[in-house]
Amino acid sequence: MSRTALITGITGQDGSYLAEFLVAKGYRVHGVVRRTSVHSTGRIDHLLRERDGAIPPVETHIGDLTDPFAVHRIVQRVRPDEIYNLAAQSHVGVSFEAPLPTASVTALGALHVLEAVRATDWPIRLYQAGSSEMFGTVRETPQSETTPFAPRSPYAVAKVFAHHMTVHYRDAYGIHASNGILFNHESPRRGEQFVTRKVTKGVAEIVAGRRSTLTLGNLTARRDWGYAPEYVEAMWQMLQQPVADDFVIATGETHAVEEWVATAFSLVGLDWRGFVVTDERLRRPTEVDSLRGDARKAEAAFGWRPRTGFHGLVKLMVAADLRRVGVDPSQFPELAS
């Protein structure tokens, strides 16, 4: 009997990779999609089409995480074995300008999912998308499952709420609910407002002659960047554990934003200093200066390890954005291999 999974946030970067991963494993996959005035399913359209007359592998349900009735109704209709709660207002910078909408979906949305699971009369395994942003002004390096949280943004505060609620529902009601504390993970499907993709898209557009500068904020912040398809595998692995628990997923390496920028430009033979301008308005009121994760617990429990390093990640994202603007990456020696 094939298993059924429900993914909130299925239209996002992680949701699309997770849907592909679960379909390949033979799951029936359902996704919550909110009504938008423009097309929002671009990352999963290939999973919504009929294949050889067979029904599409993914079915969507209109719903908003801020609406507890919708969440409850969809869970009752789908009767999933596993739920992956990935829906969030996930942009840290935006959360300073929109704290209430961020709290509504990122914090209360998670509670709505927990309540919907609590109301079922069948067992469900739940994944809650936690974030390394919760470590904020880091109390130790590297950060692990035992590092205290010290959030520095409305987004991070909302994620801390969701984390503790997930632990609470696990303890109080015996729900198999796990928090993944994932460090930054990127891909060619990354939203264009996040710094990695903003840079690789900017480099491609400069090469294609569509623009001459790229405007960025704080270049000194450091992040632990991994490759998103590998991180969604860890989400699934967490739910296959006999006992629910919380796990950090990270590469263990940290790099400055400036290193990402310099690497992306150098791959196409350019010196970033001739193209990048900084704008104070892109700085955040409070910043998370440096993140580096320790994923040894996940490795010990289910053998998870990152496979793509920093340089390989920048490379694959620059190459993908060059192809998008019609430039063949193989003309650049560093991208040819």
Q: Where are the beta strands (DSSP E) in 142-227?
A: 176-182, 185-186, 214-216, 222-223, 226-227
Question: Which residue matches tokens 């349900």?
Answer: 61
- Residue 255 interacts, among ligand NAP, ligand G4F, none and using kind-specific CB cut-offs from 5 to 8 Å, with none
Q: Shortest distance, CB of residue 265 to ligand G4F, whole angstroms?
A: 15
**Would you mind telling me the total number of residues written for the chain in this entry?**
337
- Which residues of the chain form contacts with ligand NAP (CB under 6 A)? 8-9, 11-15, 32, 34, 36, 40, 64-66, 86-90, 105, 129, 131, 182, 184-185, 191
257 binds, among ligand G4F, ligand NAP, none (CB under 5 to 8 A by kind): ligand G4F
Q: Look up 40 and say whether it is catalytic.
A: no
Q: Closest separation between CB of residue 6 and ligand NAP, Å?
A: 12
Nearest residue to ligand NAP, scored by beta-carbon proximity = 12
Would you say 260 or 332 has its CB closer to ligand NAP?
Answer: 260
Name the residues that contact ligand G4F, by CB under 6 A. Answer: 90, 92-93, 131-133, 183-184, 193-196, 198, 216-218, 221, 223, 257, 282, 284, 287, 291
**Closest separation between CB of residue 93 and ligand G4F, Å?**
5
Q: How far is the CB of 78 from ligand G4F (least distance, A)?
A: 25
Nearer to ligand NAP, 12 or 80 (CB): 12
Across 192-314, the runs of DSSP E, i.e. the strands, are 214-216, 222-223, 226-227, 247-249, 255-256, 276-278
Residue 282, binding choice from ligand G4F, ligand NAP, none, Cβ under 5 to 8 Å by partner class: ligand G4F
Q: Give helix 310-324 / helix 195-207 axis angle, nearest 10°.
A: 50
Q: Using the minimum distance from each CB to ligand G4F, give the nearer residue, 256 or 301.
A: 256
In the bound state with ligand G4F, the residue whose beta carbon lies nearer, of 14 and 81, is: 14
User: In the annotation, is 132 catalytic?
Assistant: no
d(CA 74, CA 62): 9
Maximum distance among all alpha carbons in the chain?
61
Confirm whether 230 is a catalytic residue.
no
Q: At 234, which helix (H) or strand (E)?
A: helix 228-239
C-alpha span between 239 and 127 (Å, rounded): 7
Q: With H, G, I as helix, E, B as strand and everything else as coil, classify residue 32.
A: strand
Asked if residues 271 and 202 have their Cβ atoms less than 8 Å apart, the reply is no
> How many degrees, rounded to 5, is the angle at CA 4 between CA 10 and CA 83?
50
* Closer by beta carbon to ligand G4F, 81 or else 224: 224
DSSP state at residue 282: G
Q: Please, which residue, 266 or 286, has the CB nearer to ligand NAP?
A: 286
Cα–Cα distance for residue pair 292/141, rounded to 1 Å = 7
Which of ligand G4F, ligand NAP, none has residue 89 at its interface (CB below 5 to 8 Å by kind)? ligand NAP
We find the least distance from the C-beta atom of residue 34 to ligand NAP, in angstroms, to be: 4
Task: Name the phi and psi angles at 286, rounded to 5.
Answer: -135, 140
CB neighbours of 203 closer than 8 A, spacing ≥ 6? Answer: 214, 264, 265, 267, 268, 270, 318, 321
Q: Which does 86 bind (CB under 5 to 8 A by kind): ligand G4F, ligand NAP, none?
A: ligand NAP
Binding at 40: pick from ligand G4F, ligand NAP, none (beta carbon under 5-8 Å per type): ligand NAP
Of 84, 155, 169, 227, catalytic:
155
Q: Which of 131, 132, 153, 178 is catalytic?
A: 131
Residues annotated catalytic, as ranges? 131, 133, 155
